[in-house]
């Protein structure tokens, strides 16, 4: 079909579009190319696919594969649920042990508290330090010191 005349002329006055077409124009299509080998291959593929899908063995195998997949999925979900329950049990045990640890820490703090230490020290005969218990040493020279008995010690 010659389309160049549509670009040069006005389409409003083109009555050739409504005229009956000749036999030569009806048979020729400019935009479709038929590849004979490709058409034959596609037909044979369609026939083979129809035969393979229609065979009872293929249907049975497909059903078996689908059923096996569903059973496998159920089995995996069961295992996941068992592992999740074990994880929850361990988490509960951890929580219980944490609370027991807190109780033991409070008990330890109660036993080690300052008042209890002071009471225990009094029972052992200890007392608080007083001013009279402190002995001060006065050093006039750098190399001399006086001990508790009043003796003077030299650095030499």
Task: Please tell me which residue, 98 or 56, carries the higher pLDDT value.
Answer: 98
pTM (whole model) above 0.75: no
CB 139 within 8 A of CB 145: yes
Count up the domains in the chain and report the number. Answer: 1
Question: Is 118 within a domain?
Answer: yes
Task: Please tell me which residue, 31 or 86, carries the higher pLDDT value.
Answer: 86
Full residue range of the structural domain in which residue 111 is found: 56-126
Question: Is 38 within a domain?
Answer: no
Pairing outcome for strands 144-146 and 152-154: antiparallel
Question: Is 22 within a domain?
Answer: no
Could you read off the pLDDT of 38-93 as tens digits, one per residue? 667 777 777 777 666 567 777 888 899 999 999 999 999 999 999 999 999 999 99
Q: How far, in Å, CA of 81 to CA of 93, rounded? A: 18
Question: Is 14 within a domain?
Answer: no
CB 62 within 8 A of CB 55: no
Question: Is 144 within a domain?
Answer: no
Instruction: Over range 4-33, report the average pLDDT.
Output: 63
By percentage, how much of the chain surpasses pLDDT 90?
29
């Amino acid at each position: 079909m010659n389309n160049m005349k549509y670009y040069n002329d006005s389409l409003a006055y083109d009555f050739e579009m409504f005229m009956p077409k000749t036999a030569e124009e009806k048979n020729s299509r400019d935009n479709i190319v038929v590849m004979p080998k490709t058409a034959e291959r596609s037909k044979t593929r369609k026939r083979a696919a129809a035969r393979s899908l229609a065979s009872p063995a293929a249907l049975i195998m497909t059903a078996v594969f689908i059923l096996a997949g569903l059973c496998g999925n159920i089995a995996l979900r069961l295992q996941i649920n068992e592992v999740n329950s074990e994880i929850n049990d361990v988490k509960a045990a951890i929580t219980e042990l944490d609370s027991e640890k807190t109780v033991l820490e409070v008990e330890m703090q109660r036993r080690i508290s300052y008042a209890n230490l002071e009471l225990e020290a009094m029972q052992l005969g200890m007392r608080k330090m007083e001013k009279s218990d402190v002995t001060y040493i006065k050093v006039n020279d750098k190399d001399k010191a006086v001990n508790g008995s009043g003796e003077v010690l030299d650095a030499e």
